Every structure is written in structure tokens, then in C-alpha cells.
Amino acid sequence: MPEDSKVKVEVKTDPAVKETPETDENDVAGKTVSEEASETLEDRLETAEAEAKESYDRFLRISAEFENYKKRTRREVEDFRKYANESLIKDLLSVVDNLERAVESSNTDSANDQLREGVDLTLKEILKIFEKYQVEPIEALEKAFDPTVHQAVSQEVSEAHPENTVIREFQRGYTIHGRLLRPAMVVVSKSERAAETDTGPGSDEKENES
């Protein structure tokens, strides 16, 4: 067949059908790497925030514990300053007791006036030292018996006083900064009725039965 007689065939494409661009594998890979990197950064950020919060909470706890420690230490130092001389003052109490007895016994003897004055001055000086260190005597006579500061050595019948009233004091009690240093040794009153209950007829039998 002659070349001129060849039929030219033209392929027409439908304009409504658009060619689909080829997808670049490198672009897909790039997007995947970018998303993974973003997720990794978000995870790191969340982890860092959690660690920061935990560190802050730990800091708050340590700060609170340190403040409590400072307060406790301050109280301990104050208590030490207040009561550091407690044992020394306890030893001096017997000296005060003897001086008080000496003053009382010399009141009836006029020949010992000078001696009594000297002992009295010594006693007053020691009591001034006690006052300086917040050592105070406990009021006992004519007061209601208080077992927290009084030590009853005996009971006596007394119609002149209400029951359980301190009517005599054998040894004076003291406090230091409001804390008991030594209780007062006292005699406490009781009514005749209570005395009859304690020593009345049949009391020996009750004791034997018990």
C-alpha cells in the first residue's frame, strides 16, 4: 500500500476527563516523617509538663516540711532557754526551804534578830533570782485542792473550811514558766461525815470483808 494512502488516526481525549497527576512517593514520605516528628514533639512536651508539675509539687512539699522544721526547731530552742536552769533551781529549792524554816523559827527569839534579818535578806535575794527565771510559788493555803499542783500528805477534819480545802502547807510548790516544777505538799480538809465514813463503826469489818 502506498505511503500516501495510510490513514492518520487521531486520538481525541475527553476534555471532561482530566489526567491524574502522578503521586510523588517522596512527598508522601515527607508528610509521614513530619507527622511523626510532630507527634514526638507533642509527647515530649506532655512529658516535660508532667515532670515540671511533679517537680513543683515536690518543691512545695519540701518547702512546707522545711517551714515546719524551722518552727519545731524554734520551739525547741525556746523551751531549752526556758528550762535550761530547771535542774539547778530544783536543787536550790531545798536551800529556800531551810531558809524559810530558819526565818520562822527565829521569829519567837528576839536574841536572834540580826541572824533572822540576814537569813531573810538571803532568802529574798534567792527569790528575786527565781522571779528572774519565771519561777513562781504555787498558792495553796485556803485554796481548793488541785491534784495537778498539790500533793496531799494527809486529811484533817475541819468545820471551818469547805471539804477538800488546803488548810496547811508542809512544803511550798513552784512552777517554772507555768510548768510544774514541784507540787506543794499540803494537808486537805474533810468533813466529820467523811471522817465517820472512813473510821466509823464497822469500817474494820468492811475492810476485812474486802
The pLDDT value recorded for residue 202 is: 40
Is pLDDT at 206 greater than 70 in this prediction? Answer: no
Q: Which residue has the cell 526556758?
A: 82
Compute CA distances 9 → 6, 12, 96, 136, 204, whole Å.
9, 10, 140, 130, 147
CATH number of 135-200: 2.30.22.10
The pLDDT value recorded for residue 84 is: 78
Is pLDDT at 208 greater than 50 in this prediction? Answer: no
Q: pTM for the complete prediction?
A: 0.56
Across 66-70, 91-95, 121-125, 193-197, least confident range: 193-197
The pLDDT value recorded for residue 140 is: 92
Sorted by where each begins, the domain ranges of the chain are 135-200
- pLDDT above 90 as % of the chain: 20
The pLDDT value recorded for residue 9 is: 46
The better pLDDT of the pair 160, 19 is held by 160
The better pLDDT of the pair 42, 15 is held by 42
Is pLDDT at 37 greater than 50 in this prediction? Answer: yes
Is pLDDT at 138 greater than 70 in this prediction? Answer: yes
Specify burial of residue 108 (Cβ count, 10 A radius: 0-12, 13-18, 19+). Answer: exposed
The pLDDT value recorded for residue 175 is: 94
